[in-house]
A and B are shown apart, each in its own frame.
Chain A
C-alpha cells in the first residue's frame, strides 16, 4: 500500500556518466530541467520528477544513460 502511494508521487532520474555521450536529448525532453554544459553534457546528475515524466525522459536518451530510480 505504502509503496504504491510513494510510487505515484515522485521518481528519480540519474545520469550514468560513463554511458552519456552528449546527445542532449534530455535537455530538450525535460523542458529545460536538465541543462547542458559547454561540452554538451548534462549539468544535473539527478532529477526528481513525476514517474510518468521520468519514464518518458529515460526512454528518450539515445545512449541509455538515464536511469529510472525510486528515491530511497
Chain B
C-alpha cells in the first residue's frame, strides 16, 4: 500500500492546527515533487509540543520526513533549543524569526525562497508552487507540522490499525496537548480525541480554574463549568465554537481578571500582524485598543457595538487566517466572559472587587 493510502486509512489530519487530511496534501506534493518543510516552530501561543517531538523523537521524525520528500528543511524559531538540537543533528535548518505569523505555512515557504517570513496571497495550494507579492517564483513546497511528520513515521511503522486504536472514529490517532497556566504540572501530555477534559485538567493539576483557553491565539474559551464537563474533541468542542487546533490548553485562574489577560494577548496580536493586508494591519490594532479600553472600564456601550462590528469584519479578509483567528479568540472571550464584560461596561471589574473582598 502506498504511503498516501496508508494515511487515508489511518485518517491522519494535520497537527498544526488546520486539521486538514494529510494524505490530500501529500498527494498534491508528490504530484509536484514538492520539497518538505518540517514546521517545528511551536508558533501558536502556549504550544510546546514540536519542541518535545524534536527533543525526544528526532530519529522517527527524520524517518517520517524521508518518506515524504527527498529534500527536507527543518523550520525552528531562531535562538530556540529546538533550533540548536536540529543544528547539532546536522540537519538543514530554516531559522525563522520568533514571531507569530512567521511560522504560517506560506510565510515559511516565502522565507525558504529568500523572501520575508510573511504570508503570501494564495489562490492555489502552496504545494503546487506560486508567486509571492513581489512576483518571485516559489517552488512547490509542502509544509507539515513536526507532530504530523512523527505520526506519519508511526503509521508507516506500526500500521494504521494501531493508530486508529486511539481517539474516536472521526478523529483518530494519538495527539499531543500542551497544558499551561494555573496548573501544578505544566507541560506536554499524550492524549487522544474523546478524552474528558476533566482528565487532562486533573493530570496537569489544574487549580482555581476560572476558565480554559483552547487553541491559543487562534482558538477561544471555555467557561470553568464547560471545561469540567466537555470532552476534548472537535465534535464536543464545536458547540462552543472551538476546535482542538494545535492542542494548546491554558488554565486561567479564578482570581485573575479574564479581560486583562485577553487584553495582553490582544496587544501582542496587534504587534504581530504582518502589515500586508489592510483589514488586518488596521483592524487588529483597532480591536486590541478597544479591548484594552474595555478591560480598563473605559469603553462605552455604543463603542462596544463598534468593537463587535470590527470583529465581524476581520475574518476572511487577509492573505492568511491570522485575522480570522484573532477575531474568533476575542469574540469567544466576549461570549464566555459576558458577565465580566457587562461589569466592565458599567465601569467595574468583577475580579478586582472579589480580590479586594478576599483581602479584607
A and B touch in the complex (CB under 8 A): yes
Q: How far is the CA of A14 from the CA of B133 in the complex (A)?
A: 15
Give 30 pairs: A residue, B residue, CB < 8 Å, sorted on A: A14-B123, A16-B121, A17-B121, A17-B277, A17-B280, A17-B317, A17-B318, A17-B319, A18-B120, A18-B121, A18-B133, A18-B276, A18-B319, A19-B133, A20-B277, A20-B278, A21-B278, A22-B278, A37-B279, A37-B283, A39-B278, A39-B279, A39-B283, A41-B278, A41-B282, A41-B317, A45-B316, A45-B317, A67-B123, A69-B123
User: Which B residues are in CB contact (< 8 Å) with A41?
Assistant: 278-279, 282, 317
User: Which B residues are in CB contact (< 8 Å) with A69?
Assistant: 123
Q: Check B236 for interface membership: any CB of A closer than 8 A.
A: no
Q: How far is the CA of A19 from the CA of B318 in the complex (A)?
A: 11
Binary per-residue interface labels of chain B (267-302) against chain A in the complex, 1 for a CB within 8 Å, 0 otherwise: 000000000111110110000000000000000000
Since A17-B279, A39-B278 are in contact, a sample of 15 more A-B pairs with Cβ atoms closer than 8 Å, ordered by chain A residue number, is: A16-B121, A16-B133, A17-B276, A17-B277, A17-B278, A17-B318, A18-B121, A18-B276, A18-B277, A20-B277, A20-B278, A21-B278, A39-B282, A43-B317, A45-B316
Q: Check B313 for interface membership: any CB of A closer than 8 A.
A: yes
Q: Check A40 for interface membership: any CB of B closer than 8 A.
A: yes
Size bin of chain A's contact surface = 10 to 19
Which residue from chain A places its CB closest to the CB of B282 in the assembled complex?
A39
User: Which B residues are in CB contact (< 8 Å) with A45?
Assistant: 316-317
Q: How far is the CA of A27 from the CA of B316 in the complex (A)?
A: 19
User: Which A residues are in CB contact (< 8 Å) with B121?
Assistant: 16-19
Which residue from chain B places its CB closest to the CB of A14 in the assembled complex?
B123
Chain B: residues with Cβ within 8 Å of the partner, total of 16
Q: How far is the CA of A35 from the CA of B279 in the complex (A)?
A: 13
- Interface residue ranges of B205-219 to A (CB < 8 Å): none
Q: How far is the CA of A19 from the CA of B319 in the complex (A)?
A: 10
User: Which A residues are in CB contact (< 8 Å) with B133?
Assistant: 16, 18-19
Q: How far is the CA of A22 from the CA of B319 in the complex (A)?
A: 15
Q: How far is the CA of A18 from the CA of B123 in the complex (A)?
A: 12
Nearest 5 pairs of A and B residues by beta carbon? A17-B277, A41-B278, A39-B282, A18-B133, A18-B276
User: Which A residues are in CB contact (< 8 Å) with B120?
Assistant: 18
Interfacial residues, chain A to chain B (CB-CB below 8 A)? 14, 16-22, 37, 39-41, 43, 45, 67, 69
- Interface residue ranges of B316-341 to A (CB < 8 Å): 316-319
State how many angstroms separate the Cβ of A33 from the closest Cβ of chain B: 16
State how many angstroms separate the Cβ of B111 from the closest Cβ of chain A: 16
State how many angstroms separate the Cβ of B204 from the closest Cβ of chain A: 39
User: Which A residues are in CB contact (< 8 Å) with B277?
Assistant: 17-18, 20
Q: How far is the CA of A30 from the CA of B126 in the complex (A)?
A: 31
Q: How far is the CA of A17 from the CA of B121 in the complex (A)?
A: 7
Interface centre among A18, A40, A41, A45 (most CB of B within 10 A): A18
User: Which A residues are in CB contact (< 8 Å) with B280?
Assistant: 17
Q: How far is the CA of A44 from the CA of B276 in the complex (A)?
A: 17
State how many angstroms separate the Cβ of A67 from the closest Cβ of chain B: 7
State how many angstroms separate the Cβ of B280 from the closest Cβ of chain A: 8
User: Which B residues are in CB contact (< 8 Å) with A17?
Assistant: 121, 276-280, 317-319
Interface centre among B133, B276, B282, B317 (most CB of A within 10 A): B317
Which residue from chain B places its CB closest to the CB of A36 in the assembled complex?
B278
Which residue from chain A places its CB closest to the CB of B120 in the assembled complex?
A18
Q: How far is the CA of A17 from the CA of B317 in the complex (A)?
A: 7
State how many angstroms separate the Cβ of B317 from the closest Cβ of chain A: 6
Interface centre among B278, B279, B283 (most CB of A within 10 A): B278
User: Which B residues are in CB contact (< 8 Å) with A19?
Assistant: 121, 133
Interface centre among A17, A19, A21, A67 (most CB of B within 10 A): A17
